[in-house]
Homo-oligomer: A and B are copies of this chain.
């Protein structure tokens, strides 16, 4: 079983209630990654709702999580022909960590117009690029860095102690263990692929207040090309926008998160 599937396993203990084990393999430097927690909640919703794929999911992050047992309470809010909407709250030790609302759909059944007025990031072929992990001191690498393979055309400035001043990044990502992406894993990848790009403006501490992910199409196998940017830092808050394009050039996910900078 692939790491992501093992570590997002949920056990249904009631119509609306699931238990899960937050693994320690998806840690950033300050604890379990937010995208991983959101994917755990989405996995429970996928079992609770009569539609298979997250179309749009929003998570509000309430408290830091820790590796170990968690409970996920879910609610079916509405089930329709095309969409099913529900909510899920992940808690640990009786305290809510993450609350979510989501609309699920069957992304294999979407039909209708397609018109894309944007392009995937321009990146050299992934396999022509070095693995940046090999160029970083091992003590900089939290466990999540070993779950996701990343390729960048050049190492980010902050890694060399020279933040570029540009809070943007283009990169290739995929699971390190060869698992191919699906709608559920895109919910994780928009937050789990890289440190926030505000490190390039010298902001090394931040926490996600809210993350909304739109899964826009079933992703093809292979490397995913991502474009990340922050354009507005105001009063200590910043948004981060994230696009994911699959190997056939289709935009498969788009997300925005609101982050609080600092403690």
Docked-complex contact A77 and B58, CB < 8 angstroms: no
User: Which secondary structure characterizes the binding site on chain A?
Assistant: strand
B237 and A216: CB pair below 8 A?
yes
Do B250 and A234 touch across chains, with their CB atoms under 8 A apart? yes
Stretch of A3-11, A15-23, A39-47, A81-89 contacting B (4+ beta carbons < 8 Å): A81-89
CA distance A118 to B110 in the complex (A): 34
> Is A235 close to B, CB under 8 A?
yes
Please give the count of copies of this chain that the complex contains.
Answer: 2
Quick check: A103 and B235 within 8 Å, CB to CB? no
**In the assembled complex, A92 has its CB within 8 A of some CB on chain B:** no
Q: If A62-B78, A209-B83 touch, does A231 touch B114 (CB 8 Å cutoff)?
A: no
16 cross-chain CB contacts under 8 A: A58-B58, A58-B101, A62-B85, A107-B235, A110-B234, A110-B237, A111-B235, A112-B236, A114-B233, A114-B234, A117-B231, A118-B231, A212-B212, A214-B239, A214-B258, A234-B250
Binding site for B on A (CB under 8 A): 55-56, 58, 60, 62-63, 77-78, 80, 82-83, 85, 87, 89, 96, 99-103, 107, 110-118, 167, 201, 203, 209-210, 212, 214, 216-217, 230-237, 239, 250-251, 254, 256, 258, 260-262
